[in-house]
Amino acid sequence: MSQKNQPAVADALNALLADSFALYLKTKNYHWHVQGPRFRDLHLLFDEQAAQILATTDLIAERVRKNGAATLRSIGEVGRRQSIRDDDAAAVDADADAMVRNLAADNEMLLAQIREVKAAAEEGGDIATSGLVDGWADETEQRIWFLKATASA
């Protein structure tokens, strides 16, 4: 990989890492607070998706380190870098359909970031990162598909 492009790849990966943590916590928040007639299905779906997102965070961080850069070090740094918005509403459990729509939109934002990482990796000649992000994109596309298929009309 070109040394001059290493920082660009690491920066794109760290942005993805911040949003992955933000999306993980938001998905768990919805998992913990979902209510209503679709409780069981959504509770399980959100938990499954959160576990998948969390599993990816270690892989992202390891790619940052393999590129010779530092990873995110704290929740504060995640908060400063994330572009996916938190849902701090006290009545988060009021609307399961809104939860599904929010997570679908957030996963679409994450997919756009994955594409940015892919572009930076390819420009930098980082074929390992470029190859890894393909799987992350596929998982994210599947989450989007499941969420959109779950959404009420």
Q: Domains along the chain?
A: 3-86+105-150 (1.20.1260.10)
Confidence of residue 113 (pLDDT cuts 50, 70, 90): very high
Q: Are 106 and 21 in contact (CB under 8 A)?
A: no
Quick one: which H or E segment has residue 117? helix 96-124
How far apart, in whole angstroms, are the C-alpha atoms of residue 122 and residue 117?
8
Q: Are 22 and 54 in contact (CB under 8 A)?
A: no
Quick one: which H or E segment has residue 131? helix 127-150
Rounded mean pLDDT of the chain?
93
Residue labelled with tokens 């980082």: 126
- pTM score, whole prediction: 0.93
Confidence of residue 4 (pLDDT cuts 50, 70, 90): low
pLDDT tens digits, 69-100: 999 999 999 999 999 999 988 777 668 899 99
